[in-house]
Amino acid sequence: MTPPRHRIGISLGMIDSLSDGLGEFSTQVCEHVARVAPAWREQHGVQFHLHMPARWHGRFGDQVGYLATRKLQGYWHWQGLERFDVWHGLNQLGRIIPPLGTRQALLTIHDLNPVYHDAEPAARKALDKLRRRLRHFDEVTTLTHHVEGDIRRHLGWTGPISVIPNGARDLNTHAQDAVPGILPGRYLLHLSRMAKSKNPQSLVEMAALWPQQALVLAGPRTGDSDRLAAQVRERGLANVTVVQEVSDAQKTWLYAHCQAFVFPSLTEGFGLPPLEAMHFGKPVFLSRLTSLPEVGGPHAGYFDSFEPAAMRRTIETDTPRLLREGLAIRAHAAQFRWDRAAEAYLAIYRRLLGPVDAAVSAAPR
């Protein structure tokens, strides 16, 4: 085995779940890195190290190294046992910066949602915190051109930015498990953690004025989903079902058997659920806000208003067109591939490593 001459660190930061959007992104990048790690070690003399909570060490096999995240790493310029040629922070959350001695540092910024849903002092504080962290990075990647514009406008970043869209899994061949009490083919589906920023309340109000149309709101159990479920019960909305703690197999079944997928989110850095629904050729209805039009493209329907009657009209008017475009909808979703996204990150790593002599002689930060 060729001993490593270069080291690349990939940091998940302080995320606490691999089952949400950030977790899915982190898992896909790390799985791809683990697959190519033996070839990179032999061809480029590179050893990959994954920086993540200790409970996940070993999850991605033995071809990569593991470093433990610790809260104190966010409070001083820490140093690992090895110096890194490239360090990639997989998200903008938290305080952790690249360790001392890192030569080139890359940060992925998924969104600047505080700009859109926080009060001004809270948004300003969040942006100031991110600006301070950005001083330790040489390049930025993000998921959409919309967020690229936000980064330039709100953070004043003048350095390089690469736009690398996420992938979206095609769940058509995955196991399915029917959700009891849900009639297949008879419901509109919304899937999220049901935070206010996802705008599920607009769907509840639409359902209240459209009693003959079933609506399923699905996602993890959270305080927001508990409050929404209680509201549905108190208002006696028999056509609305809130499904909490939905399994992967149940999620796949819900996508496969819905009439349409509805996602009127107020702030999105990307938006994976709409693309997952599109893989099934389903009509998808989105808000026109933040990154969603860029992700949904011409083969989605769009809410121009969140007034209940207007939302209903949009669905009733555009569904026939979108049903005819099933093949085009699937083709649109198929453009968003995780292997393509991961290879784009690897291409940046190769560029940042540079020629061997330059990488060795470059002054560490």
**Complete domains list, the chain, with CATH:** 6-167+337-361 (3.40.50.2000), 187-334 (3.40.50.2000)
Strand ranges across the sheet with 301-303: 240-244, 214-219, 187-191, 260-263, 284-287, 301-303
Per the CB < 8 A criterion, the answer to whether 105 and 137 are in contact is yes
| Nearest to 265, CA basis, from 334, 188, 333, 201 | 201
Q: Has residue 214 got a pLDDT over 80?
A: yes
Per the CB < 8 A criterion, the answer to whether 328 and 278 are in contact is no
| Nearest to 102, CA basis, from 72, 131, 82 | 82
Q: According to the model, what pLDDT value does residue 71 have?
A: 76
Mean pLDDT of 16-45: 93
Q: According to the model, what pLDDT value does residue 95 have?
A: 83
3-state percent helix, strand, coil for the chain, nearest multiple of 5: 45, 15, 40
Q: According to the model, what pLDDT value does residue 358 have?
A: 41
CA–CA dist 268, 2 (Å, integer): 43
Q: Has residue 164 got a pLDDT over 50?
A: yes
Q: pTM to 2 decimals?
A: 0.90
Mean pLDDT of 237-242: 98
Per the CB < 8 A criterion, the answer to whether 14 and 96 are in contact is yes
70 or 334, greater pLDDT: 334
Q: According to the model, what pLDDT value does residue 1 have?
A: 57
CA–CA dist 202, 189 (Å, integer): 13
Instruction: Give Cβ neighbours of residue 267 (< 8 Å, ≥ 6 apart).
Output: 111, 113, 116, 117, 197, 289, 290
Q: According to the model, what pLDDT value does residue 362 have?
A: 42
CA–CA dist 284, 265 (Å, integer): 13
Mean pLDDT of 222-234: 97
Mean pLDDT of all residues in the chain? Answer: 93
Q: Has residue 361 got a pLDDT over 60?
A: no
**Helix pair angle (145-155, 120-134), 10° resolution:** 90
Mean pLDDT of 73-94: 81
* Tens-place pLDDT, residues 240-296: 999 998 999 999 999 999 999 999 999 999 999 999 999 999 999 999 999 999 999
Q: Has residue 77 got a pLDDT over 50?
A: yes
* Tens-place pLDDT, residues 311-320: 999 999 999 9
Mean pLDDT of 95-124: 90
How many of the other CB atoms lie within 10 Å of CB of 211?
Answer: 11
Q: According to the model, what pLDDT value does residue 359 have?
A: 41
Q: According to the model, what pLDDT value does residue 122 have?
A: 87
- With H, G, I as helix, E, B as strand and everything else as coil, classify residue 142: strand
Give the distance, in angstroms, between the CA of residue 254 and the centroid of all CA atoms in the same chain: 20
Q: According to the model, what pLDDT value does residue 90 have?
A: 98
Instruction: Give Cβ neighbours of residue 308 (< 8 Å, ≥ 6 apart).
Output: 202, 205, 206, 208, 209, 210
Q: Has residue 363 got a pLDDT over 80?
A: no
- Partner residues linked to 88 by β-bridges: 10, 106
Pick from 19-23, 143-147, 153-157: least confident: 19-23
Pairing of strands 65-68, 46-52: parallel
Mean pLDDT of 66-92: 82
| Nearest to 184, CA basis, from 249, 253, 252, 239 | 253
CA–CA dist 360, 178 (Å, integer): 56
CA–CA dist 308, 80 (Å, integer): 54
Q: How confident is the model at residue 78 (pLDDT cuts 50, 70, 90)?
A: low
DSSP state of 210: -
Q: According to the model, what pLDDT value does residue 360 have?
A: 35
CA–CA dist 49, 27 (Å, integer): 14
Q: Has residue 21 got a pLDDT over 90?
A: no
**Helix pair angle (200-208, 308-324), 10° resolution:** 100
Tokens coding 217: 């709101």
Residue type, 252: T
Q: Has residue 168 got a pLDDT over 80?
A: yes
Q: According to the model, what pLDDT value does residue 275 have?
A: 98
Q: Has residue 81 got a pLDDT over 80?
A: no
CA torsion sign, 302 to 191 to 311 to 200? negative
CA–CA dist 22, 90 (Å, integer): 8
